[in-house]
Amino acid sequence: MNIEWYVVLSSLLFAIGATGILIRRSPIVILLCLELMLNAGNLALVAFSRMVGNQEGQVFALIVMVVAACEVVVGLGLIVAIFRRKLPLDVDELRELRG
Amino acid sequence: MSATSWTWLVLLFPLAGSILISLGFRSIPARVAGVIGTGAIALAFACAVAALVNLLGQEPDARHHASSLWDYASAAGLDIKLGIYVDQLSAFMMLVVTGVSTLIHLYSFGYMRSDEGYHRFFSYLNFFVFSMLLLVLAGNFVLLTVGWAFVGFASYALISFWYRRTTATEAGMKAFVINVVGDIGLVLAAFLIFREIGSFDYGTVFAKAPEVFQSGEWTVTAICLLLLVGAFAKSAQIPFHTWLPDAMEGPTPVSSLIHAATMVTAGVYLIARTHVLFYLAPTAADIAAFGGLATLLVAGTIALAQTDLKRVIAYSTMSQIGYMIMGVSIGAYSAGLFHLMTHAFFKALLFMAAGSIISAMANRQDIDRMSGFWKAMRFTSLMLLVGGLALAAFPLTSGFFSKDSILAYAEARGGMYAWMAIGGYVGALLTALYTFRLIFRVLPGRPCEEAQHLIDSGELYHGPPINPATEEEEDTDVGFPGAHHHIAEQSWPMAVAMALLGFGALFAGLIQVPGVDNVLFGFLEPAFLDSPLAEIHPSVGAEWRGLAIGAAISLIGIFAAWVLWVSRPQLPALFRERLRPVYLLCLNKWYFDEAIDFLVVRPALAIGRFANSTFERIVVDGLITGTEDTVGGAGRLVRVVQSGFVRSYALLLLAGFAGLALYFLIVSS
Amino acid sequence: MNFHAPHIDYAALSPVIALTVGLCIVLMTAVSKPLRRTAPALTLLALATTAGLLIWQWDEETDLISGALRLDGLAIAISLIAILTAAFAVLLSTREPAVEEAGSGEYHALLLGSVLGMVLLAQAQNLVSFFVAIETLSIPLYILCATNLRHERSLESGLKYLIVGSLGSATLLYGMALIYGGSGSTDFAGIAAGIGKESVLGDPLVLVGIGMAAVGLAFKTSIAPFHQWTPDVYQGAPTPITSFMAVATKAAAFAVFVRFFDVALAPESGDWQAPLAVLAAISIVVGNVGALRQSSLKRMLGYSGIAQAGYILGGLVVASEAGVNALVFYLAAYAFMNLAAFAVVVARERETSYGDEIGAVQGLGAERPLLAWPLTISMLGLAGLPATAGFIGKLYLIEALVAGDYTWLAVFIAVGTMISLAYYLPVVAAMWMRPGGEAAETATPTPAIAGASPEADPIDPEAGRRVYLVAPALLAAAAVVFFGIIPQPLVEFAQHAGSSLF
Amino acid sequence: MEEVLFFGAAIGALGGAIGVVAMRNPLYGVLALIVHLFSLAVLFLLLSSAFVAAAQVVVYAGAVMVLYVFVVAYVGGDTESAWEPIPGQRFLAPLMGAALFVELAIAVLASSLLALGTDGPDVKAGFGDPAEIGRLLLERFLLPFEASSILLLLAAVGAVVLASRREVER
Amino acid sequence: MTNSLLWTPLLFGVIGLFLPRRAAGWWAVLGTVVTLGLAIALLAGFDSGAAGLQDTVDVEWIPGLGVDYSLGIDGLNLFLILLTALVWTGGTAFAAFREQERPHLFFLMMLLGETATLGAFLAQDLLLFVLFFDLMLVPFYFLFGAWGSDREGGPTASAATLKMIVYTLIGSLLMLVAAIATAVISADGGHLTFSIAALGEQGLGEGSQRWIFWFFAAAFLVKMPAFLLHGWMPDAYRAAPLPALAVFSGVLAKVGAYGFLRVVLPLFPDATIQFQEVVLVIALASILYGSVMAFTQTNVRLVAGYSSVAQLGFITAGIFALRADGADGAILQMVNHGLVVAPLFVIVAILAERSGTEDLREMGGMAMRAPVLAALFLIVTLATLAMPGSANFIGEFYILNSLFDSKIVFACVAISGVAMSAYYALRLYQRTMHNRKPEGIESREIGWRDGVVLAPLVLCILGLALYPQLILKRTDASVQRNVAGLSDTTDAELARQRGRGSEGQSISVSSGPSESRAAAG
């Protein structure tokens, strides 16, 4: 199976994730979409690692998983904090800062 | 001491006097100031005489010297020294200037006595004389310009001496600006001369001119025309004459000094001084001559219609200067200068007499109100008469000889110059007419109110201080009009000055009677030998023929004036009816003021107002506001895009990336 | 199977270790109230130690831990800038409400964590450590931005930063993946070698990868059009954090930007120089015009930061030693100028009810000269007027640009500077040319006052005299002037950094 | 055989992804993501990287997703309205997504890297096994490895700071 | 020597901060007086014949960037330095006699301004020049903005000042780029130096000269200000406090013209020759426009302001006649104009105090009880309108003469400005001092304080009027050297024409133009 297929697939996933961030307003879903994008990156990494035949890419992918986890944790923490402040869980409602 | 050292002294005294008076205006008492002022000029006159004597001691053709104190501004090849040039011409001029000025100072000593600005007046007066002397003594064109401009400024200061009088300040401004125009002409001429000859120094220039230029070459013509601008502006020749009549706003001594005896003659002097160039530029010379002719005729006609005592005399000045200009332009150098001298005498005298009368009229100057002063003020009237006779070239008076020597020369040179002579005679007729119009209006007849008051009480009539020009209340705290007026009968300095001038006016002509004696010409001629025109001499016979014609004309003119204004007083009114347009033309001074106002002043001011209101706002500020708006608009755009929606931020981010990626894809293929 | 532990040069690694240890210790203080008070001091201590160690390693140039890091002049210079900024931030954080909210220990630990990220980032020369470092830098900042929990704005800024930031990281990651694919290697040297190959040079895969990496880094350095988070986050975050972000993040990000592009991607420089130059121009314009007529000082500084980033990017674009020197010099100067400004802003927002509105500094010249002068100097410096480090910095940049045949960008810098005067000088005018009393009428009170009262912070009328606020301000301002008049030391500092790359 | 697996997994991954983006309810989104992640794990296996696949399943599908579920449960996964406040966004967003995909795809397909067209070189047995990866982590990538641990620590602290209900002492 | 001259004012200013309020002003005055003394000492020690730099200081400043700290004086800047010192003394004293709010800052800024200006004149390193050139603006931003007066219906002082700063910096910043470009390009990878002299020798490609020329020209023309670029001037002048304004328009405007002489002519000869006409057109426009504006203006400050526009137009024209006498005249005229404008603004201040207005239409008749004031004002006025006999006349005479030789048409147009100047200057004097005195205007003699400020300046005017050679003698040599590279063409034909007349007493100008041109090309 050609590596091309994997990479193209990953780019498609990346695009989908990006689109999700652009159209979804719930911060949780946006976090999910970020996960999608990072995973797309991972897929690409692994695919390339296979292509060039060294495992650095895989290690990179693992590290990315950790990073992704961290972002999720922080993100969810923020969401909880916002929820605590009785603020709407909608990124479009949070636009006091502008101009 | 050499002639030049004497001459430096001549320059020094008036300047010193002026500075001394102005510095001590608080401490020095008024009379002392007057004494200092008069004394300074008297001393200058003495030194002038000394210089003359010194000159006479030398060979006629060695009678020119240059001397300079220090490098005034010499760099990059320009040679501008603080130097003077003494020869017969400048010696003659400084004699006339200092001599007449001394008498005028003396007159002012009495006349201005009660004026608050006594100090100011005398320091100005001295400064004026200094400037005039600088003008005639300067040794290069730059210094000439300096003197030229100083004279202009001094006349400004004196014209607007009573500076609370708006008419006076306006007149002063007018005089100054027109004079500046003249200066510019002079400066440009200097540039051109330097460009061609590479020097500003009289000696160098006049020596080199003949070999540098061929006769009639455009450059030299241009130079002469530019010089003429200067000359005409100072000498109040058409079309630069309009300032002179207005200049009568100044105190009467000023009028007599500046606008008769000295300042206005500067143009004559300039042409005489640069006769070398003018000889090389015949066209320019002729233009000058015609200008003089035109002026003398036009001024004569205007003088006929005016009713302001001083203005009439002022216009007569213009026309007399016209004679001189014509004279020196066509080559009658000595004759022109001769007339300059005699004119200085009788014109100063006329103004002094007029001043005396005006005092008696409590500053009214309208001749229609005047009459019968013969009974009221015998001496003044006498002097007025003497001056009038000389002006009208009554036989054997000074004016008689000087004027006719010009016309005789013109006739002798022949060609179109002969026609000019005829024009000159016509002018003479006019002169006689308006002069005696004046005299017959003022002297004979039943004394007017003011004159009567003087006869009865022996005291001067005191009217309310009114500005005759605008009929508005005078602001008296600048002095004008003094608490008391002064007339020759009551103040000896005035009387003395007038008497001396009267003597000059009557008999000065006798130093130069054709075929009898040749004092003046003999002295002046050597200065002009480098111009072949100086060779032309009318024969004695021709001169006497001319004199005869002149005598006849002046007698006719006087008689006509008697008929018109004494025996048949209704006639003038009749003429006014019949020749209304002509009358209006003369009354309104041929509409020169209006023309200049329309052609120069208004456009300039209009442009200024346009620039100030429209251009400045739209273009200049437009540049700024335009930029401001563009930048501000961009800022507004940025802030609008900064909508606060995090998702639109993401969109822009990705868009940015898309663009970048697109670029790279294009590059890579 | 045999395992070879990598060689570790502890001396060279010591700064990182010191920071990590410090981090842990500070974190420990969170456990009890009395200990918590010591957190700032300990933080400062940790920072000082690290700085000391860095200076000790001044002339070092080595690869660390099998090439994951490289300690060299650039790394040390940038790390020092970051640490200095952090130290200032710690001082400014004294009595900061946000600190109480988050708890002093946690707050400072996070701060140190971010610094650690920066130090690593400045040294990173391997895609993996690069990515980890940049996240270690960012994630604590996401949190710190939001620490002022009672302020909706703080949370908002945190969330915005997190979302857009993660998006940026994702893009960066994908770009890295592509570059890795193209070059088959993750460390910079390998990448340079890999993409330098004839077959790969100019390959769309790699180029697009470069583009994505550029986006990620441009985002961190707030280059337009990836700048939009900047004003919002700067304004919403607690001011000490803003000051830290504004300077340190930029410095660290630029460090890796330079290292990655001028070392790893050097072979492709012909392709990326032009687009980056255009990005620089765009940010100069956007930043400067955006800052016009901003009433919030922090927001204004945010926009100005965008413009300044544009200037600095110029130093990278020319891909020359002079360029890097100029870049480092300008970063240092920029650090001082901004810190001075932010210190004053902190003081005023605690002292007056105007928050960071420009009204807060009105009449400052008469009221608090010791605050007015630093702000004035910093504004003049940012505007690039002579006798300040800002002027020399611009001079340095322009020189590099002209030498690198990017004169048009230099002209852009000049034009941008003109526009910038229109928002820097009004601040000066507000301080010196308007009476303080007037402030009451003219200045519009912040929503913080107008809006929900629970958000209102306590007002400390003496803040303008607190030494921990005035001293930093004066110090930074003094540095701005000093390096404006005697720039040579800073120039050498910059040259030491630049010389290590070329 | 491989093709079948690939396409199956690919479809799963895409489906999951689209599910995440499309599902109105966050909870469903989370579930869709889990599907996506599992499919990815399969792809990883196909790319002969067993350890990553495993980690994927354990870390993500295990830990992270649970976290998500908790939070969604806590804040209440109410469905968001379809109303779009940002003008143009609804139109531009998909366009942008498409553009991204097209550009990336072109970049990949136009790439002159020959290796892309292959299944990749033959790799020795154990490629991507835990042992290999572990060795790399401890040798070449020791620092990132350690750094990521610190990162995790910081993230945890952050989460506590943000989410913990603390009484601010004044 | 030059060094101490440069830093003395600033030193005094800084020390002044620590003195009591009342002392601050007098301390500042002392500082300026000391500076003036140093400047006079410089003049005394100056070697008139030498063309090169004297009293040079040259130490490395930023070796990393090739910037040196090098100062020096020659014929070009000697008298401008004197002017600066003198005018500043006057302005500061005038301010010290009056109550200033926040005196410490005010006088610090005044003195900082002096140091900056002196620096701009003294700098012999291109970058140092640019630095001081920009630095000059900073103190005046404060002076105008903080002590200026807001105009009702108009912009506030700070707004007007902001406009001025931004506008004038537009030029300066472009100039910064241009300066660096000059050095970098002419170094061409070699040793980077900003030394003006060195750059002049290295020379620059004609292509780069073109744009660099305009960047510099922009800076200088805006500073002057020249026609169309004077948009900042009216508001700023209206807002400015008069002591500061006196020094500002007395000296700072000259820096622009000086820049042309010091930098543009020697460094970019080809471009200069190429764009000679363009700049001359701008100069003419400034002359005419400034004059026309001046005689329709009713605000006293603006009459003076626009007259300066015209005067600077003359100076520019003189410089761009590209001949020695023109440049001589230009320098002379810079000094004259400085000496004239500064007292003019002092007088405006005095009049404003007496009449409570700055509108010509509401003034008048003030000469009555104030003969001394009137006399001083009159002298200043006459100098302003370049009355023959004043040094200003000599200045304009030299300028116009050179223009007449090189570009006769321009000269003929330019000279009309002289006539207009006569009108507006005299108008200014008349409308204020003469005519009827409106109600509520008092005519009071000037006190000894203002006398002390005014008299020395007027004396200098008179002194120069008597002996302008004082300046010409010392400038000529340097000027010859500076324009040598440019004036060969114009001088060649000149030589031909003059050849008809004298033996080359006129053409000491074209001393070895050929080789310097070769170096420039």
- Please check whether residue B247 is in contact with residue B171, taking contact to mean a CB–CB distance below 8 angstroms: yes
For residue D37, give the chain A residue with the closest CA. A39
Using the Cβ of C415 and the Cβ atoms of chain B, whether some distance falls under 8 Å is answered with no
Among B658, B662, B668, select the one facing D96 at the smallest CB separation.
B658
Chains in touch with D (≥3 Cβ pairs < 8 A): A, B, C
ipTM for the complex shown? 0.91
pLDDT for the residue C451: 40
Does the structure show a pLDDT above 50 at E506? no
Among B645, B647, B658, select the one facing D99 at the smallest CB separation.
B658
Band of pLDDT at residue D120, cut at 50, 70 and 90: confident
Residue % of chain B over a pLDDT of 90: 48
Using the Cβ of B416 and the Cβ atoms of chain E, whether some distance falls under 8 Å is answered with no
Mutation for E interface: C361, C399, C415, C492, most E CBs within 10 A: C399
What is the spatial distance between Cα C372 and Cα C387, in angstroms, rounded to a whole number?
Answer: 18
What are the φ/ψ torsions at residue E58 (nearest 5 degrees)?
A: -150, 100
Residue ranges with strand state E in E277-349: none
What is the spatial distance between Cα C355 and Cα C351, in angstroms, rounded to a whole number?
Answer: 9
- Please check whether residue C406 is in contact with residue C277, taking contact to mean a CB–CB distance below 8 angstroms: yes
What is the spatial distance between Cα E518 and Cα E511, in angstroms, rounded to a whole number?
Answer: 14
B81-134 tens-digit pLDDT: 899 999 999 999 999 999 999 999 999 998 888 887 888 899 999 999 999 999
Instruction: Give the residue among E291, E303, E425 at the shortest CA–CA distance from E359.
Output: E303
Q: ω into residue E155 within 30 of 0, thus cis?
A: no
Gap from C493 CA to chain E (nearest CA, Å): 11
Instruction: Give the residue among B409, B495, B529, B523 at the shortest CA–CA distance from B95.
Output: B523
For residue C427, give the chain E residue with the closest CA. E158
E137-189 tens-digit pLDDT: 999 999 999 898 887 777 888 889 998 998 888 888 899 999 999 999 888 87
Residue B252, CA distances (Å) to B310, B619, E170 in order? 8, 51, 59
pLDDT for the residue B484: 66
Instruction: Write out chain A residues lying below 8 Å of C142, CB-based.
Output: 74, 78
Higher pLDDT, C35 or C172: C172
Out of B431-440, D79-88, E92-101, least confident range: D79-88
Are the Cβ atoms of A99 and B644 closer than 8 angstroms? Answer: yes
pLDDT for the residue E488: 54
Band of pLDDT at residue C445, cut at 50, 70 and 90: very low
pLDDT for the residue B251: 87
Higher pLDDT, D167 or A69: A69
Mean pLDDT score of chain E: 87
Are the Cβ atoms of D26 and A43 closer than 8 angstroms? Answer: no
Are the Cβ atoms of D93 and B669 closer than 8 angstroms? Answer: no
What is the spatial distance between Cα B413 and Cα B402, in angstroms, rounded to a whole number?
Answer: 17
Band of pLDDT at residue B604, cut at 50, 70 and 90: confident
Are the Cβ atoms of B631 and C422 closer than 8 angstroms? Answer: yes
What is the spatial distance between Cα B477 and Cα D121, in angstroms, rounded to a whole number?
Answer: 115
Among A22, A95, A97, select the one facing B651 at the smallest CB separation.
A22
Using the Cβ of D162 and the Cβ atoms of chain C, whether some distance falls under 8 Å is answered with yes
Chains in touch with A (≥3 Cβ pairs < 8 A): B, C, D
Q: Report angle CA C31, C33, C35 to the nearest 5 degrees.
A: 70
Chains in touch with B (≥3 Cβ pairs < 8 A): A, C, D, E
pLDDT for the residue B468: 66
What secondary structure letter does DSSP report for E129?
A: H
pLDDT for the residue D166: 59
Among C386, C403, C411, select the one facing E177 at the smallest CB separation.
C411
Band of pLDDT at residue B249, cut at 50, 70 and 90: confident
pLDDT for the residue C1: 56
Instruction: Write out chain C residues lying below 8 Å of A95, CB-based.
Output: 156
E193-232 tens-digit pLDDT: 899 988 888 888 888 899 999 999 999 999 989 988 888 8
Q: What number of other Cβ atoms are within 10 A of residue E299's Cβ?
A: 18
C363-413 tens-digit pLDDT: 888 888 999 999 999 999 999 999 999 999 999 999 999 999 999 999 999
- Find how far residue E520's CA is from the centre of its chain: 27
- Touching status, chains E and A (3+ beta-carbon pairs under 8 Å): no
Question: Which residues, at least 6 apart from B165, have a Cβ–Cβ distance to it below 8 Å?
Answer: B249, B467, B474, B475, B480
Instruction: Write out chain A residues lying below 8 Å of D145, CB-based.
Output: 63
Gap from B634 CA to chain D (nearest CA, Å): 20
For residue B653, give the chain D residue with the closest CA. D96
Instruction: Write out chain A residues lying below 8 Å of B636, CB-based.
Output: none
Does the structure show a pLDDT above 50 at C335? yes
What are the φ/ψ torsions at residue C69 (nearest 5 degrees)?
A: -125, 160
Using the Cβ of D122 and the Cβ atoms of chain C, whether some distance falls under 8 Å is answered with no
Among E62, E135, E174, select the one facing C387 at the smallest CB separation.
E135
Does the structure show a pLDDT above 90 at B268? yes
Band of pLDDT at residue C442, cut at 50, 70 and 90: very low
To the nearest 5 percent, what fractions of chain D are helix, strand and coil?
75, 0, 25
Mean pLDDT score of chain C: 90
Are the Cβ atoms of B624 and E231 closer than 8 angstroms? Answer: yes
- Please check whether residue C443 is in contact with residue C410, taking contact to mean a CB–CB distance below 8 angstroms: no
What is the spatial distance between Cα E427 and Cα E216, in angstroms, rounded to a whole number?
Answer: 36
Out of B258-267, B499-508, C21-30, E390-399, least confident range: B258-267
| Residues 483-542 (B) with a CB less than 8 A from some CB of D | none
Higher pLDDT, B535 or D35: D35
What is the spatial distance between Cα B137 and Cα B202, in angstroms, rounded to a whole number?
Answer: 11
- Give the best-scoring range by mean pLDDT among B113-117, B564-568, E274-278, E432-436: E274-278
What spatial distance separates the first Cα and last Cα of chain E, rounded to whole Å? 36
Are the Cβ atoms of C289 and B634 closer than 8 angstroms? Answer: yes
Q: What number of other Cβ atoms are within 10 A of residue C355's Cβ?
A: 24
Q: How many CB pairs under 8 A join A and B?
A: 28
pLDDT for the residue C440: 43
Among E328, E415, E437, select the one facing B75 at the smallest CB separation.
E328
- Per-residue pLDDT, averaged over E434-452, amounts to 84
Q: How many CB pairs under 8 A join C and E?
A: 100
Sign of CA dihedral B292, B298, B303, B307: negative
B338-385 tens-digit pLDDT: 999 999 999 999 999 999 888 888 878 888 888 888 888 889 999 999
Q: What number of other Cβ atoms are within 10 A of residue C370's Cβ?
A: 17
Gap from D170 CA to chain A (nearest CA, Å): 19
Band of pLDDT at residue B478, cut at 50, 70 and 90: low
Band of pLDDT at residue C188, cut at 50, 70 and 90: very high
What are the φ/ψ torsions at residue C446 (nearest 5 degrees)?
A: -70, 155
Instruction: Write out chain A residues lying below 8 Å of C152, CB-based.
Output: 85, 87, 94, 96
Beta bridge partners of B81: B71
- Per-residue pLDDT, averaged over E89-112, amounts to 91
Band of pLDDT at residue C448, cut at 50, 70 and 90: very low
What is the spatial distance between Cα E514 and Cα E269, in angstroms, rounded to a whole number?
Answer: 12
Residue % of chain C over a pLDDT of 70: 95
Among D93, D103, D104, select the one facing B651 at the smallest CB separation.
D93
Using the Cβ of D128 and the Cβ atoms of chain A, whether some distance falls under 8 Å is answered with yes
Are the Cβ atoms of B191 and E401 closer than 8 angstroms? Answer: yes
Are the Cβ atoms of D107 and C204 closer than 8 angstroms? Answer: yes
Are the Cβ atoms of D103 and B662 closer than 8 angstroms? Answer: yes
